[in-house]
Structure 1
Amino acid sequence: MLARSAVFDIYGDHLLSSTKWAPVAALVQLTGVIDIAPAATRTAISRMAREGWLTAQTRDGARGYAMTPRAAQRLATAGQRIYADHTPEWDGRWHIVVVEHSGDRSARARVRASMEYLGYARLAVDTWIAPRASDDLAGTLGPGYREFHSELSGDPRQFASSMWDLEQIADAHRQYDRWLTELVQGFPDDASDEERYLTRTLAVHEWRKFLFRDPGLPPEVLPDAWPGTVASERFRDVAARLRPGASAYVESCIRTALGRA
């Protein structure tokens, strides 16, 4: 796990609904549990601050970082997708976006990464499609795009399978489900809060990757017996069972960093 990803996970999964801030010492301790070196964590924090995700703040004499409004919005949206127990009802129409003046190759690559993260597939050059509009579209693209909704003729399942590699996505869900089952198999009832934090962190981190893999298509366009349904249910169950202990460990690390242990 990269230090940057681990820090994002801590803020998104534990701090978003509380302080939105943590001492550097606590972040170093929390990432150290998953074998990330202190220097790597500090470098990641500094880089995230330069990129506008974090801002330096000292509280109670402890040097730390708070998430910026931009980061809070991005992490809140990601959290809704990560823990969603259903997909919104689909009206049968597709959302089509035409990006204007996407720029040079690097700019086009950034647009592509952003659109795929939001669940869109490329329909044509600078044209993207998804079963529903993303609330983050304007914040991602700015004013340089046009959008409209349209019904498409033909079988929506066939269309979806032509736009997204559904078999690859399905296989990724099966692999995750097997991996998570093995991860928590025999997990002791008397496990420490640190062990619960570690296990939950690994489970959430791997599941978070589906934000970039799985567009969250409605059931109407997915194959029958979609494995993502089972994998999602298992993930939410494991995450919920481990959350109290994991949260307690995060809070204890922050208290220690503030000298309140």
Structure 2
Amino acid sequence: MFDVYGGYLRQRGGAATIAALVKLLEPLGFAAPAVRTAVSRTVRQGWLRPVRLPGGPGYALTARAEVRLDEAAARIYRTRPSTWDGRWHVVVLEELPPRPARDRLTSSLHLLGYGELGPATWVAPRPSPELADLLAAEKVAARTFHGEHDGDDTELAARAWDLAGLGRDYASFVREWEPRVSGVDAASPPAAFAASQQMLHAWRNFLFRDPGLPPQLLPEQWAGRRAAKFFDHNTERLSGAANRFVESCLTNQSKQ
């Protein structure tokens, strides 16, 4: 659901009727009851809000969701400038929250691009605009600042993130998805949409592990570069047909 909104609906006003959502998710194997359940859960989590659209009842992105999706898109498609001024954004928690909240916080900090140097210390190559809201939501106090590392930055990056494991998984991504998408005929809009969305969903999982480090901090022959080129090429190859499918779903539902 989040990938459909981020990949297609965000650039089309960020809203769709429930009927259009059902139609959009059909090629992915989701029946109408599952779509409605997912929508309800996403509303409860604060990512969607009910709206009345010309075609009937629908759901629009909340402001919080728009920020999250815009940040995710910048990292998925690497639209940010790759320059780095040599300083890290450092987050030092004043105290650790209880275990359930700590697990949520850890997962969210990873998603925002922070790597863990210790139980209470996190670093990122750039600050996240969502950090303050995340800390407030979890009721966690922290000190944040920019600072240069008095040492080898590549060693710091390797400590904060498992770059070796990440590189292996990028290589596995290409091996797994190359045969899966190469056989998709871009002349079939539903098939192109389904393949593109499934690939995007798999690629999006890397957001929890890859902060988008500047090139000088990455290992030589970084597998992430080839994986990104592969993802970009196939996303572009399928985009025309996938967008035609999305437009047909939204247009047909608006006429009902």
Same fold (TM over 0.5): yes
The partner residue of 1:163 within 151, 155, 160 is: 160
3-state SS of the aligned residue for 1:122?
A: strand
CA separation of 1:81 and 1:252: change in aligned 2, threshold 3 A? same
Question: TM-score with structure 2 length normalisation?
Answer: 0.92
User: Is this contact kept in 1: 2:74–2:80, CA < 8 A?
Assistant: no
User: 1:146 maps to what in 2?
Assistant: 143
Q: Percent identity?
A: 41
Q: Does 1:92 align with 2:92?
A: no
The residue that corresponds to 1:134 in the other structure is: 128
Q: Which residue type is aligned with residue 210 of structure 2?
A: D
Contact (CA 8 Å) 1:87, 1:218: kept in 2 or not? no
TM-score by length of 1: 0.90
1:84-123 equivalences in 2 (<5 Å)? 84=78, 88-123=82-117
**Letter aligned with residue 196 of structure 1:** A
Question: What's the secondary structure of 1:224's corresponding residue?
Answer: coil
Q: Is the 8 A contact 1:14 1:250 kept in 2?
A: yes
Secondary structure of 2:30's counterpart equals coil
- Aligned twin of 2:20: 26
The alpha-carbon deviation at position 29 of structure 1 amounts to: 1.8
Letter paired with 1:224? E
Deviating beyond 6 angstroms after TM superposition, the runs of 4 or more aligned structure 1 residues are: none
Root-mean-square deviation (Å)? 1.8
What's the CA shift for 1:97?
Answer: 0.6
Structure 2: 5+ residue runs without aligned partners? none
- Given the superposition, is the C-alpha separation of residues 146 and 116 from structure 1 closer, same or farther in structure 2, using an over 3 Å criterion? same
CA contact (8 A) 2:193 2:241 kept: yes
Deviates more, 1:123-132 or 1:194-203: 123-132
Q: How many correspondences in the alignment?
A: 253
- 2:29: which partner in 1? 35
* Distance in 2 separating the partners of 1:86 and 1:76: 11
Check if 1:57 corresponds to 2:51: yes
CA distance in 2 between partners of 1:68 and 1:130 (Å)? 26
Note if 1:74 corresponds to 2:59: no
More off after superposition, 21-30 vs 87-96: 87-96
